[in-house]
């Protein structure tokens, strides 16, 4: 008796990215830490030249490691944007020393200013506004300053669950951008649901805050990894997207990909060209290589020109 030959069921090829998604992912940025950057043999194999790369400064990371990472990335042709977390900077002299080190060794001219995830300040600074008020970034010729945004609020700042204090801070930063020459933008915490992001961005514009928004998006990762980071980072109601997925046994073991949220935001941007979300900023929680490959497969190949927002 002959054996039956069964044709193997082929996995369908992934759909080509739409023009809206390609446009939305153009000029994306990505975040690294010194310890994760060390594991990458060659960034040029992963990221388009000119990509903006944020360097996250976690408490306890020596400034020398931060500067060495910035120097490497700058030499490879990337626009380097290190974090300056206010609460781990002891005083004005320390801040100026960090700036001098970054500029002297890595020609850094842009920074993300944020309070940082430390409960008790290490010194004189508590928030990013105090860093800006020193005037040191202007004095040393920084061309671009980004500040933090929280589409779902920040319980560490607004303990009552509102967005009053974080929104007031953004209004102050809007005013700072208007009275100085700094090119500014808002880089946000990641979220998993498009509609609340859209409503938040539109509400800022209605309130007179028109700084460009670089929306934080979690890159592909194991579901358990993503839930862990989301809880640790204080992600708000959109966490239910992951929790719902975790309850579906058919999806539990599959990696999360940001396809849905990207598609929805891209479609909204295509329909509303003046929408104030201008860029995507990836948090590569499942690894830099995994995130970079996903971005390339979905049309995120182009790097930003030098003067991009």
The CATH number that applies at residue 205 is 3.20.20.220
Of the pLDDT bands very low, low, confident and very high (cuts 50, 70, 90), residue 182 is confident
Res. 307: pLDDT tops 70: no
Of the pLDDT bands very low, low, confident and very high (cuts 50, 70, 90), residue 275 is very high
**pLDDT tens, residue by residue, 221-251:** 887 777 776 666 556 555 566 666 555 544 5
Domain span holding position 193: 19-297
The alpha carbon dihedral of 87, 91, 92, 98 has a sign of negative
Q: Is residue 207 part of a domain?
A: yes
Determine the pLDDT at residue 4.
42
Determine the pLDDT at residue 295.
94
Under a CB-based contact definition with an 8 Å cutoff, are residues 276 and 243 in contact? no
Which of 2-16, 65-79, 121-135, 228-242 has the weakest average pLDDT?
Answer: 2-16
| Helix residue ranges per DSSP H, 76-181 | 92-106, 128-133, 136-139, 164-179
Strands 52-55 and 110-114 come out as unpaired
**pLDDT tens, residue by residue, 6-35:** 344 444 445 667 899 999 999 999 999 999
Under a CB-based contact definition with an 8 Å cutoff, are residues 292 and 285 in contact? no
Determine the pLDDT at residue 143.
94
Neighbours of 120 (CB within 10 A): 6
Q: Is residue 4 part of a domain?
A: no
58 backbone dihedrals φ, ψ, rounded to 5°: -85, 145
| Total tally of structural domains belonging to the chain | 1
Q: Is residue 304 part of a domain?
A: no
- HSE value, Cβ hemisphere, 13 Å, CA-based, for 46: 23
Q: Is residue 13 part of a domain?
A: no
Which of 37-51, 108-122, 252-266, 292-306 has the weakest average pLDDT?
Answer: 292-306
Interatomic CA distance for residues 252 and 67, integer angstroms: 39
Determine the pLDDT at residue 9.
41
Q: Which long-range contacts (CB under 8 A, 24 or more apart) does 245-251 make?
A: 251/223
What percentage of residues in the chain have a pLDDT greater than 70?
79
Of the pLDDT bands very low, low, confident and very high (cuts 50, 70, 90), residue 301 is low
Determine the pLDDT at residue 174.
96
Res. 183: pLDDT tops 90: yes
Q: What is the mean pLDDT of residues 160-172?
A: 77
Determine the pLDDT at residue 106.
97
Determine the pLDDT at residue 117.
78
Q: Is residue 76 part of a domain?
A: yes
Interatomic CA distance for residues 75 and 57, integer angstroms: 20
Indicate the average pLDDT of the chain.
Answer: 86
**pLDDT tens, residue by residue, 100-123:** 999 999 999 999 999 987 889 999
Please tell me which of 17-26, 117-126, 147-156, 208-217 the model is most confident about, judged by mean pLDDT.
Answer: 208-217
Q: Is residue 14 part of a domain?
A: no
Q: Is residue 182 part of a domain?
A: yes
Q: What is the mean pLDDT of residues 166-177?
A: 92
Neighbours of 57 (CB within 10 A): 22
Res. 41: pLDDT tops 90: yes
The alpha carbon dihedral of 162, 258, 283, 171 has a sign of negative
Closest CA to 129 of 103, 144, 148: 148
Q: Is residue 72 part of a domain?
A: yes
Determine the pLDDT at residue 192.
84
Determine the pLDDT at residue 6.
37
């Amino acid at each position: 008796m002959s054996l039956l030959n069964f044709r193997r069921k082929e996995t369908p090829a992934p759909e080509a990215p739409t023009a809206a998604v390609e446009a939305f992912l153009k000029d994306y940025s990505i975040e690294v830490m010194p310890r994760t950057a060390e594991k990458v043999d060659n960034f040029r194999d992963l990221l388009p030249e000119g990509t903006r790369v944020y360097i996250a400064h976690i408490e306890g990371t020596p400034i020398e490691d931060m500067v060495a990472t910035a120097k490497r990335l700058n030499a490879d042709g990337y626009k380097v944007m290190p974090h300056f977390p206010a609460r781990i900077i002891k005083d004005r002299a320390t801040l100026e020393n960090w700036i001098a080190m970054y500029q002297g060794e890595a020609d850094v001219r842009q920074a993300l200013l944020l309070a940082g995830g430390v409960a008790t300040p290490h010194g004189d600074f508590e928030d990013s506004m105090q860093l800006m008020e020193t005037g040191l970034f202007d004095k040393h010729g920084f061309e671009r300053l980004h500040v933090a945004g929280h589409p779902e609020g920040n319980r560490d700042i607004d303990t009552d669950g509102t967005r009053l204090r974080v929104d007031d801070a953004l209004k102050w930063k809007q005013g700072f951008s208007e009275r100085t020459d700094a090119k500014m933008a808002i880089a946000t915490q990641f979220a998993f649901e498009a509609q609340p992001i859209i409503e938040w961005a539109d509400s800022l514009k209605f309130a007179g805050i028109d700084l460009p928004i670089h929306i934080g998006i979690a890159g592909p990762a194991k579901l358990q990894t993503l839930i862990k980071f989301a809880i640790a980072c204080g992600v708000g109601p959109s966490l239910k997207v992951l929790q719902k997925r975790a309850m579906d046994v058919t999806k539990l073991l599959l990696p999360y990909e940001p396809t849905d949220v990207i598609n929805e935001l891209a479609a909204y941007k295509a329909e509303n060209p003046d929408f104030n979300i201008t860029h995507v900023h990836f948090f590569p929680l499942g690894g830099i290589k995994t995130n970079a490959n996903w971005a390339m497969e979905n049309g995120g190949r182009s790097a930003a020109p030098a003067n991009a927002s």
